[in-house]
């Protein structure tokens, strides 16, 4: 179980700086990653590097990392609230073994986290398409 102890949001509500202990299971972490990977798989981008390049901020001098804020904003924009909860994504970004203690996501970490789940999602999409086409041909 991944545990994050600290302040997830800002302390603008009343100026109180409260700490919370938030937990997410490995299963929940995997589901968050799979939800995002599924949306990446729906894109027309062929490789994980192309997806990462799309996340880079225009004019970024460091082409090997993207801010967690930018990644979070993009992930929430492509996933509906029923697919991805912001709080769950926050916890994953703070507790994932490759991301903890960083304000950015490096290309190598992005590959390690998303390459296999995106490939699996693309494979599922392909198999669903083949199955649907076979059903239509049999009808």
DSSP per-residue letters across 36-59: HHHHHHHSS--SHHHHHHHHSPTT
Could you tell me the residue range of the domain that residue 117 belongs to?
26-138
Does residue 45 sit within a domain? yes
Q: Where residue 2 falls among pLDDT bands split at 50, 70, 90?
A: low
Q: Where residue 139 falls among pLDDT bands split at 50, 70, 90?
A: low
What's the mean pLDDT when you consider all of the chain? 85
pLDDT greater than 70 at residue 95: yes
- Strand, coil or helix: what is 104? strand
Mean pLDDT, residues 27-52: 92
Residue 11's pLDDT is 40
Task: Answer yes or no: are the C-beta atoms of 57 and 67 closer than 8 Å.
Answer: yes
Task: Answer yes or no: are the C-beta atoms of 114 and 33 closer than 8 Å.
Answer: yes
Does residue 19 sit within a domain? no
pLDDT greater than 90 at residue 1: no
Does residue 38 sit within a domain? yes
Does residue 15 sit within a domain? no
Does residue 69 sit within a domain? yes
Does residue 12 sit within a domain? no
Q: Where residue 24 falls among pLDDT bands split at 50, 70, 90?
A: confident
Q: Number of structural domains, the chain?
A: 1
Does residue 34 sit within a domain? yes
Residue 20's pLDDT is 61
Q: Where residue 65 falls among pLDDT bands split at 50, 70, 90?
A: very high
How close are the terminal C-alpha atoms of the chain, in Å?
A: 48
- Check the CA dihedral 53-74-87-85 and report its sign: negative
Does residue 65 sit within a domain? yes
Residue 13's pLDDT is 43
């Amino acid at each position: 179980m991944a545990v994050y102890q600290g302040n997830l949001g800002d302390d603008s509500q009343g100026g109180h700086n409260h700490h919370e202990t938030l937990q997410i299971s490995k299963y929940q972490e995997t589901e968050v990653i799979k939800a995002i990977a599924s949306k990446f798989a729906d894109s027309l981008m062929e490789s994980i590097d192309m997806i990462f390049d799309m996340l880079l901020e225009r004019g970024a001098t460091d082409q090997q990392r993207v801010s967690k804020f930018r990644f979070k904003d993009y992930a929430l924009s492509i996933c509906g609230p029923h697919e991805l909860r912001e709080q769950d994504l926050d916890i994953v970004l703070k507790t994932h073994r490759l991301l903890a203690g960083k304000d950015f996501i490096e290309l190598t970490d992005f590959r390690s986290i998303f390459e296999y789940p995106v490939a699996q999602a693309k494979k599922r999409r392909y198999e669903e398409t083949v199955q649907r086409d076979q059903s239509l041909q049999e009808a």
